[in-house]
Amino acid sequence: MLSEQDVMKMLEETQAVLHGHFLLTSGLHSPMYVEKFNVLQHPKYTEKLCQEIARRYADANIELVVGPTTGGILLAHETGKALNTRAIFTERENGKMTLKRGFQIPAGTRVLVVEDIVTTGGSVKEVMDVVREHGGQVIGVGLLVDRSGGKVDFGVRTEALLHLNVPTYKAADCPLCKEGKPLTKRGSTGKNNPVKK
């Protein structure tokens, strides 16, 4: 059984959680940045995290695990392996979340939806819609990190391995700027660049 402290330690050790002064893709500033792929690049950690999600749903008779691309593919695979079920993933096509590659969800299938990090929950809700459109029954949601501050409600049992309340600030109100801490730009480009003033 993994505690939230165990999960946080794993994420910090792999630099999936970074502390500093970051410029986010939204334009906001934050003292913390979560780079999920820093932990997901380690199969042994990914396996441990997904085994914990699976453990929490061991009594739920899950028949299928579904996650959204990209991180959700790894999580669905490892969680499905731990639950001894199939694992599939959704993809975007013309901006809409959908099933491709011949994936099927037989009507009435008991489904666990998994995702790496949730802030607004938009992607998870889209995956849930796809599952229901195909006749599946969403039994629960498993998350690595809930950084919504408790705001997200999927209407089904939700298990997050770690709850993070990550403060964000507009540049004009940023206490880190006022302290003169150097600003680092982070984002899906994979770069870690100091911001030039």
> Domains of the chain: which residue ranges?
4-194
**Mean pLDDT along residues 26-50:** 92
Query: How remote is the C-alpha of 94 from its chain's centroid?
Result: 22
**Mean pLDDT along residues 130-138:** 97
Coil, strand, or helix at residue 151? coil
**Mean pLDDT along residues 118-137:** 94
Coil, strand, or helix at residue 160? strand
CB 193 within 8 A of CB 183: no
Residues 6+ apart with CB under 8 A from 5: none
pTM: 0.87
The domain at 4-194 falls in which architecture?
3-Layer(aba) Sandwich (3.40)
Tokens of 80: 């499905």
CB 131 within 8 A of CB 111: yes
Q: From residue 139, how far is each of 42, 92, 99, 108, 157 by CA, in Å? A: 28, 23, 19, 11, 7
Q: What is the CA radius of gyration of the chain?
A: 18
Q: How confident is the model at residue 24 (pLDDT cuts 50, 70, 90)?
A: confident
Residues 84, 81: Cα–Cα separation, whole Å:
5
The amino acid present at 37, given as its one-letter code, is F
Backbone angles phi, psi at 175, to 5 degrees: -65, -25
Q: How confident is the model at residue 129 (pLDDT cuts 50, 70, 90)?
A: very high
Residue 25: the pLDDT is 77
